[in-house]
Amino acid sequence: AYKDVTLSWTGTSTKPMFQPTGGNWTFGGGEYSITLKGNSNSSHLIDIISAEVTLTSNGSIEINSGYEYGVAIGQESSTTTNKSVFHLDGGKIIGRADTSVVVYGNSQFIMKRGSITATASKGVHVKAGSAFSMTGGDILNSTYDVFVEKSDLFTISGKVQVGTIKLNGIGVYFT
């Protein structure tokens, strides 16, 4: 971008604002900021299917919808073999949502830096068969900042700040 940019979702569609279905996408990282902004009627803002997406410095997602996800990684179907990856590396997710980030089976969320401070029921919802690793950053301001159903891998290391973690099921653990 050559100046600060805000892309606002003003529709009432059940379709996401962006739906990467392949390749590598990066939001932010330049001299100017890029903000993806939803409204109270919008669907989730990013729906990652078989792609790799990075939200980095000067990139932000402003959700503003109390009933949808900010970022959906992978697909809800447990039979999918498509792998999706979301990197939070210096960007921020803010606003209001039911769930800020949901990670479905066979997909991965890697958080190195940045913050998730959306007022939400769940900051990060880790579904069965998915992976979430956090080596830096903050997840705060949700009822459950990290909600783990049954993940293949959930690790926290480095300098992180997480308000609440709920391990919701038999055999659920984290390192």
Highest mean pLDDT among 24-33, 84-93, 121-130, 142-151: 84-93
Residue with tokens 């939803």: 38
pTM: 0.91
Query: How many angstroms separate the CA atoms of 175 and 165, rounded?
Result: 12
Highest mean pLDDT among 32-41, 76-85, 123-132: 123-132
Whether residue 58 contacts residue 81, with contact meaning beta carbons closer than 8 Å, is answered with: no
Please determine, for residue 104, whether its predicted confidence score (pLDDT) is greater than 70: yes
Query: How many angstroms separate the CA atoms of 84 and 121, rounded?
Result: 23
- C-alpha pair distances (Å), 66 with each of 7, 20, 31, 39, 96: 19, 23, 31, 9, 6
The arithmetic mean of pLDDT across residues 6-22, rounded, is 81
Please determine, for residue 101, whether its predicted confidence score (pLDDT) is greater than 80: yes
Highest mean pLDDT among 17-21, 110-114, 128-132: 110-114
% of the chain with per-residue pLDDT over 70 = 91
Whether residue 65 contacts residue 36, with contact meaning beta carbons closer than 8 Å, is answered with: no
Whether residue 47 contacts residue 70, with contact meaning beta carbons closer than 8 Å, is answered with: no
Please determine, for residue 16, whether its predicted confidence score (pLDDT) is greater than 90: no
- C-alpha pair distances (Å), 57 with each of 31, 33, 40, 105, 163: 9, 8, 25, 27, 23
Mean pLDDT for the chain overall? 87
Please determine, for residue 172, whether its predicted confidence score (pLDDT) is greater than 90: no
